[in-house]
Amino acid sequence: MKEKIEKILSEVKSFHADSKEALEQFRIQYLSKKGTITELFTEFKQVAPEMRKEMGMRLNELKNTIQDIIDEQQKQFETKSEGKTDLDLSLPVDAMNGSRHPLSIVRNEINDIFKRLGFVVAEGPEVEDDFHVFSALNFPPDHPARDMQDTFFVTKSPDVVLRTHTSSVQVRVMEQGKLPIRIIAPGRVFRNEAISARAHCIFHQIEGLYIDKNVSFADLKQTLYHFVQEYFGEGTKVRFRPSYFPFTETSAEMDISCNICGGEGCNICKHTGWVEILGCGICDPNILKACNIDPEEYTGFAFGMGIERIAMLKYQINDLRMFFENDLRFLKQFENA
């Protein structure tokens, strides 16, 4: 039996597993209930009494050696496995599943048009203070937009609100004093409104601001004419209607001919043939003064449009709520957009 133990000991010491499976087979061969060590302990019962102490020590040594070999090689194998990868990081990535949200598609398309006109994208915080959302934009203290029915207040203090428009970004850019200014400010805004097919408490805007010397309403009209022809196609009619905004004077709302009914009248354009898409105007001198810009030297124009309104016209969607419901049946329609 002594020679048999020595032979097995020599064999196991030279063993090296090249895989996890091979190591498991080694364990089964020697340490399982029907393995070699179990057989040796069965034979041990027949060893002469005077030899049992020595053989018992040798047998336990063999068993412990085999277990140590398994533990050590298992550790090395796991370390090697953790550092090994079949991933080739130099290969091009697979095409991504899914698609962009339709609002993201429209926002990027609008951004691209104005970028080609020299506008730069600017961003700002969604949680704002009263000055940047209202006071700096010439909203009087009793203006309805400050009322709880229109504005979400973050705290009991009326000074911290969720921005109701991205005009606050324009104020922050003007405060920097780097003139001239030509920016667009896309972003999410919040108003305390009832959710319906035509309104939501969360929506998205893109606002534009251009401040320089000798900027006129003609510059504003040509900029917006160009945008409409680029986005909605040549032949789209445009009209401006006088309006009122606290932060612009002269102010106007801009309509385009309904691209769904061709101007003949439908439920989208309320059977008028026209759809209002944005508000605009010449920057009120008080706005420039609040941001330390001399209105005697500089003038400017501003405009703002809702991304949802543009998306509804482009994709002929008649329920604004669909943009926020995450319905895959709806979103999958834009996979190739």
pLDDT in tens, 281-295: 999 999 999 999 999
Closest residue by Cα to residue 172 from 216, 145, 137: 137
Q: pLDDT band at 96, cuts 50/70/90?
A: low
Ranked by mean pLDDT, which of 11-20, 87-96, 168-177 comes out on top? 168-177
Print burial letters for 284-311: b (CB count within 10 Å at least 16), e (below 16).
Answer: bbebbebbebeeeebbbbbbbbbbbbbb
Residue 216's H or E segment, with its range, is: none
Q: Does the pLDDT of residue 80 top 60, yes or no?
A: no
Give the model's pLDDT for residue 105.
94
Among the ranges given (127-136, 138-147, 178-187), the one the predictor scored with the smallest mean pLDDT: 138-147
pLDDT of residue 126: 94
Please tell me the predicted confidence (pLDDT) of residue 148: 60
Residues 243, 273 contacting (CB under 8 angstroms): no
pLDDT at 36: 85
Rounded to an integer, the average pLDDT of 330-336 is 84
Half-sphere exposure of 202 (CA within 13 A, CB side): 9
**SS3 category, 121:** strand
Mean pLDDT, the chain, integer: 86
Which of the four pLDDT bands, split at 50, 70 and 90, describes residue 261? confident
Tell me if 169 sits within 8 A of 181, measured CB to CB: no
% of the chain surpassing 70 pLDDT: 93
- pLDDT for residue 31: 84
**What does the angle CA 207 – CA 212 – CA 215 come to, to the nearest 5 degrees?**
80
Residues 6+ apart with CB under 8 A from 33: none
Average the pLDDT over 7-24 and give the result.
83
Q: What is the pLDDT of residue 213?
A: 95
User: Does residue 68 register a pLDDT over 60?
Assistant: yes
Section 115-123 average pLDDT? 96
Q: How confident is the model at residue 238 (pLDDT cuts 50, 70, 90)?
A: very high
Measured distance CA(316)–CA(232) in Å, rounded:
13
Integer CA distances (angstroms), 88 to 93, 152, 165, 223, 250, in order? 10, 50, 46, 49, 61
Per-residue pLDDT, 97: 64
**How much is the pTM?**
0.68
